Amino acid sequence: MAEEDTSMEMISFGIVAAAGQARSMAMEAIKTAREGDIAQARELLEESRKAGLEAHDEQTKLLSREAGGDHVPVDVLLVHSQDHLMTSMLCQDLAEELINLYEAVGKLS
């Protein structure tokens, strides 16, 4: 059981780390777009999405285990990691919209 707990902790920490990186890069993309470098902002957002996929892959491991009949225990750390993942995904969606808006405003100038 302790080995499973360690594995669960490592998966949860992996989700937190990758999702945190994804969120940070999405925020950097927004800042870069605000400064007028739309192409670089889009590159940063793409990098953010790649980091987000790492977090999503870790989550998928848990879903696959559960679907296979191996119950995944839910603890505060796992809930926290899921919160980070969802927040990063929302941040990416909003970053994309803001980059589009900054690009449109830039064309009007």
Q: Annotated active-site positions, please?
A: 80
* Cβ neighbours of residue 91 closer than 8 Å, sequence gap 6 or more: 22, 23, 26, 27
DSSP assignment of the chain = -HHHHHHHHHHHHHHHHHHHHHHHHHHHHHHHHHTT-HHHHHHHHHHHHHHHHHHHHHHHHHHHHHHTT------HHHHHHHHHHHHHHHHHHHHHHHHHHHHHHHHH-
